[in-house]
Chain A
Amino acid sequence: MRIPSAITLACLTVATSLQAEEGRITVGSKNFAESRLLAEVFAQLLEARTALRVERKLGLAGTQVCFAALQNGDLDLYPEYTGTGLVTLLGAAPEGDATATLGRVRREFLTRWNLHWLAPLGFENSFELAVPRALAASRGLRTISDLARVSRDLNAGFGHEFVQRDDGLPGLRRVYGLEFRDVKQLQQALQYQAAAAGDIQCLDVYTTDGRLVVHDLQVLEDDRGFFPPYTAAPLVRGETLARHPEVGATLGLLGDALDADTMRRANLRIETRGETVEAVARDLLADLGLVAPAATATAAPRRAHLASFMWSERRSLLQRTLEHVGLSIAGLLLGIATALPLGLLLERRRRIAEGVIRGLGMTQTIPSLALLAFMIPLLGVGAKPAIAALWLYAIFPILRNAYTGVRDADPGAVQAATALGMTETQVLRQVRLPLAVPVIMAGVRTAGVLTVGTATLAAFIGAGGLGEPIVSGVQSVDTIMILSGALPAAALAVAADVVLGRIERGLRPRGLRLRGAA
C-alpha cells in the first residue's frame, strides 16, 4: 500500500507552501494572457538579474483575488493597470490623463496600503468595445455613441469582471445609455469564438489584444472619454522593496520598454499560436537585451498531437499531478478527521443530528469558485485556502454516511450487545463502528472522487494542480492544453475510486466479507 508515502507527500506539499522563506519573492498574475506574460517577464528578469528565488502564482481569478493576495503578503508583486487601480480598487471616478491617473494611484496606494506602482512599462491596455467590421460598416458605427443608437438590437458578450466593474458595463450604461438586447457573461477567450460564430455582436476587448486583427473586429472610439487610462506597471508591496531593493531597480529596467504594438504581437503568439508564456517572455526580454536569447528556437510548433504535447510537458505535468494529489489527499484526510468524530458524536445526539447534517449539506451547494473566493480574505492564496475548501466539500458525504452507517448498524447485533451488558460507548466502538465501515468508506469514496474533481479549481487561487493547464488552455482556446490537464485529472479521479475501494475491502471486518450480499 502506497498510502503512507502519499500522506507524507501531502504533508510536504502543505509544509512547503506554508513556509515563508528569506530571499524568495512571489509574483502573481490575473487569469488572462497579457497578465500572465507580464508576470512571467518580471519573474524571468528577477531570476536573471538578482539572487532571489521567484515563485509564480499565475492565473489567479481576477483583480480582487490578486489584490487581496498582495495585501496580505501572499504575493509580492503583480502587473496591474492604473485605470483598474483608480476605479476598481480605489472606487474613484475616472478623470484626468494617463500621467494624472498614475500620479493619483501612486499617492493613494502608498498612503493607504504601502503599495508601490513602479515605472510604467510603456503601453496602455484600455478596455474598449469592439464590433464585427462588417456590422460597423453596414450600420455606420464609429464611436460608442453610434453603438448606443443601435445596441438594443444587438447581443453582447462581456467578461465577468467587465459586467461588474464600474469602469465596465455599469458605467457605460450610465454615460452612454448603452442597453443591449441580451448580455452574456463569457470567459474572455471564448468571446472571440462567440463573435466569430455570430452569437454576439459586441464585446469588450483590450487595446493590446492581438486577436482584434485576426477576428476582423472594429474598435469603437470612446468619444466621451469614459474609460480611464490603463497604464501597465508592476504593483509591488512596500515591504518587499524595503527588504529587497534590487526588485525595484531591476523592474525599473522595463520602464517604457514595451509598446502597445510589441504587446499585441506577443499576446497573439500566446492566444492564437499556442506558444508558452515562458517562451514569449524570454523572447521579449532577449529583444530588450535584458537576458541572453534562448539557445534554441522557442517557437517550435508543438500542438500536433496530445500525446506528444503531454510528453514534451511531462515534467510540469508530473509536478501538477503531484500538487493535485497532495491537495486532494490533504483535503480528504482533514475531511475524514473532522467528519468521522462528528458523525459518531451526532449518533449520540440524534435530536440535533439531522439539523446539523442538513446545515453542513449546504456547503455542497456553494459553487466551488465562490467558496474558494470566500477563503482568500481568511487564508490568502495558494494551497491553504484550496485545502480548506476541499476539506469543507469532503466533510458532508463522509459525515452523512458515518452518521447513518453507525445509526443503522445491524439492529439485531446492537440490541443483543446492549442486552448483554455493553455500555453505550462499548456498543459504539465495538459494534456500531466496525459494522458501519462499509457505509462510512462509501462516503469516503464519494468524497475522494469529489475532492479530486474539485481540486482542478485550485488553479484559480494559485494552488497549482492539474487545473493549471486547464485554465491556461481555456484562456488560449487550446484544446490540447486543456486535455493535457483534464485527462490526468479524470484518471486521478478513477484511481482515487479504485484505491479507496481497495482500502474499503481491507478495512471491512472479516466476518462481513464472508457474508456476500447480506
Chain B
Amino acid sequence: MVSLAAHHVWKLYPPGIEALRDVSLTVSPGETLALVGESGSGKSTLLRLFNRLEEPTRGAVEIEGRPATEQDPVALRRMIGYVQQDGGLLPHWRVEDNVALVPRLLGWDAERRQARTTALLDLVGLPAGEYRRRFPAELSGGQRQRVAFARALAAEPRLVLLDEPFGALDALTRHELQEEFIRLKARLHPTMVLVTHDLAEAFRLADRIAVLRRGDLLQIGTPAELVAHPADDYVQALLAHHRVGKA
C-alpha cells in the first residue's frame, strides 16, 4: 500500500489558465480518496499528477515518500492501476490481451499471465471461458468497464487511479459496478484515488472526499466531517444538491 502527497501544487496552462492553485493533500496507505468537483475544477489534472501524465508547474508530488520526479514515469505507471471513463481498451486486442497488458510489459511468462487473466475476469464477473477471446467491440459498455477494472488490477498494483470510471454507464450498470468496486476494495485494499463529479458516488465509495472548484481545494475530510462542517456555501450547496447532507 502506498501513500501519496501533494505539496503546494500549482498547474498553469499557457494562456494563463490556473488548473490547480496551491493544492496540498495527503492520501494514507489503503485509503480511498474521492476528488469531487464540476468539470474544470482541476480534479482530473490533480489525479494525473500521481502517475506523471501531468507535471506540476510549481510544488511537489510524493509517492511513497519519494518525490515523483525521481521516479521513472514508465516504471511508475506500470506499478499503478488506471481506469478512465471510456475504459480505453485497445480495440484491436482481445479481452485477455487487454487484461494482460501490464503483466506483459513487466515480462511475466505466458502461463502466469493466463492464470492471472482468468482469475481477474472471474473476479470482475466475466467468466474467462466465455469472454477472454472476445474483442472490445463484442462487449457492452458495462462489460468493457469491467475489463478495464480487471486490466487496472492485473499486476497487483498497490495504487489505483480512477478517472470517472462509472461516468459513461447507465444507472443500473453503474450501481452494479459500484457494488463490485466495494467488494474489490474490501478484498484487495489498495490505495485509491477516485475522480467523480457525483458526490453521492463519492459518499458510497470513498473514505475521504476532497472538494475542488476552479483549481482550489475547498475542503478535504470524511463524509461525516463534510456534512457536519461544510467549509463554505459551495460545499453546502453541493451536499444539498446531491441530497447527501441529511444522510
Known: A421-B102, A511-B94. A416 touches B88 (CB 8 A): yes
**Is B84 a contact partner of A511 (Cβ separation < 8 A)?**
no
B243 to chain A, nearest CB (A): 32
B125 to chain A, nearest CB (A): 21
Query: 8 Å CB contacts to A: which residues of B45-101?
Result: 51, 53, 74-79, 82, 84, 86-94, 101
Interface of A is mostly: helix
**Is B135 a contact partner of A416 (Cβ separation < 8 A)?**
no
**Is A510 a contact partner of B135 (Cβ separation < 8 A)?**
yes
Per-residue contact bits, chain B 99-118, to A (CB 8 Å; 1 contact, 0 not): 00110010000000000000
**Is B78 a contact partner of A511 (Cβ separation < 8 A)?**
no
User: Which residue of A422, A510, A512, A516 contacts B105 across the interface (Cβ within 8 Å)?
Assistant: A422
| Residue B138, interface by CB 8 Å | yes
Per-residue contact bits, chain A 428-446, to B (CB 8 Å; 1 contact, 0 not): 0011001100000000000
Q: How far is the CA of A416 from the CA of B48 in the complex (A)?
A: 12
**Is B90 a contact partner of A420 (Cβ separation < 8 A)?**
no
CB-CB under 8 A from B86, the residues of chain A are 412
CB-CB under 8 A from B137, the residues of chain A are 511-512, 514-516, 518
Q: How far is the CA of A28 from the CA of B152 in the complex (A)?
A: 70
B190 to chain A, nearest CB (A): 15
Q: How far is the CA of A332 from the CA of B224 in the complex (A)?
A: 68
| Residue A352, interface by CB 8 Å | no
A308 to chain B, nearest CB (A): 52
B137 to chain A, nearest CB (A): 4
**Is B84 a contact partner of A415 (Cβ separation < 8 A)?**
yes
**Number of inter-chain CB pairs below 8 Å:** 79
| Residue A509, interface by CB 8 Å | yes
Return the chain B residue nearest A515 by Cβ: B137
Q: How far is the CA of A477 from the CA of B101 in the complex (A)?
A: 66
**Is B90 a contact partner of A413 (Cβ separation < 8 A)?**
yes
**Is B105 a contact partner of A431 (Cβ separation < 8 A)?**
no
CB-CB under 8 A from A416, the residues of chain B are 82, 84, 87-90, 148
**Is B84 a contact partner of A412 (Cβ separation < 8 A)?**
yes
Per-residue contact bits, chain A 486-518, to B (CB 8 Å; 1 contact, 0 not): 000000000000000000000001111011101
**Is A421 a contact partner of B90 (Cβ separation < 8 A)?**
no
B208 to chain A, nearest CB (A): 23
| Residue A419, interface by CB 8 Å | yes
| Residue B151, interface by CB 8 Å | yes
**Is B91 a contact partner of A515 (Cβ separation < 8 A)?**
yes
Return the chain A residue nearest B154 by Cβ: A420
A515 to chain B, nearest CB (A): 4
**Is B74 a contact partner of A511 (Cβ separation < 8 A)?**
no
Q: How far is the CA of A369 from the CA of B240 in the complex (A)?
A: 75
| Residue B136, interface by CB 8 Å | yes
CB-CB under 8 A from B102, the residues of chain A are 420-421
CB-CB under 8 A from A417, the residues of chain B are 88, 90, 101
CB-CB under 8 A from B82, the residues of chain A are 416, 419-420
Q: How far is the CA of A97 from the CA of B180 in the complex (A)?
A: 104
| Residue A423, interface by CB 8 Å | yes
Q: How far is the CA of A289 from the CA of B176 in the complex (A)?
A: 100
Return the chain A residue nearest B77 by Cβ: A421
A410 to chain B, nearest CB (A): 6
Known: A416-B82, A421-B75. A511 touches B87 (CB 8 A): no
Return the chain A residue nearest B82 by Cβ: A419
| Residue A114, interface by CB 8 Å | no
| Residue A479, interface by CB 8 Å | no
A415 to chain B, nearest CB (A): 6
Q: How far is the CA of A426 from the CA of B105 in the complex (A)?
A: 10
**Is B138 a contact partner of A419 (Cβ separation < 8 A)?**
no
Known: A514-B135, A515-B137. A420 touches B105 (CB 8 A): yes
**Is B93 a contact partner of A511 (Cβ separation < 8 A)?**
yes
**Is B87 a contact partner of A412 (Cβ separation < 8 A)?**
yes
Q: How far is the CA of A512 from the CA of B93 in the complex (A)?
A: 9
**Is A512 a contact partner of B74 (Cβ separation < 8 A)?**
no
| Residue A8, interface by CB 8 Å | no
CB-CB under 8 A from A298, the residues of chain B are none
Further contacts, 5 of them, CB under 8 A, given A435-B92, A509-B92 = A417-B88, A419-B161, A420-B151, A434-B92, A512-B91
Can you report 16 A-B residue pairs in the complex whose CB atoms are below 8 A from each other? A410-B91, A413-B88, A413-B90, A413-B91, A415-B84, A416-B84, A416-B87, A417-B88, A419-B82, A421-B76, A421-B77, A421-B78, A422-B105, A430-B90, A511-B136, A516-B137
Binding site for B on A (CB under 8 A): 410, 412-413, 415-423, 426, 430-431, 434-435, 509-512, 514-516, 518
Binding site for A on B (CB under 8 A): 51, 53, 74-79, 82, 84, 86-94, 101-102, 105, 135-138, 148, 151-152, 161
- The 9 closest A-B CB pairs, nearest first, are A416-B88, A421-B78, A509-B92, A421-B77, A511-B135, A419-B82, A514-B137, A511-B92, A515-B137
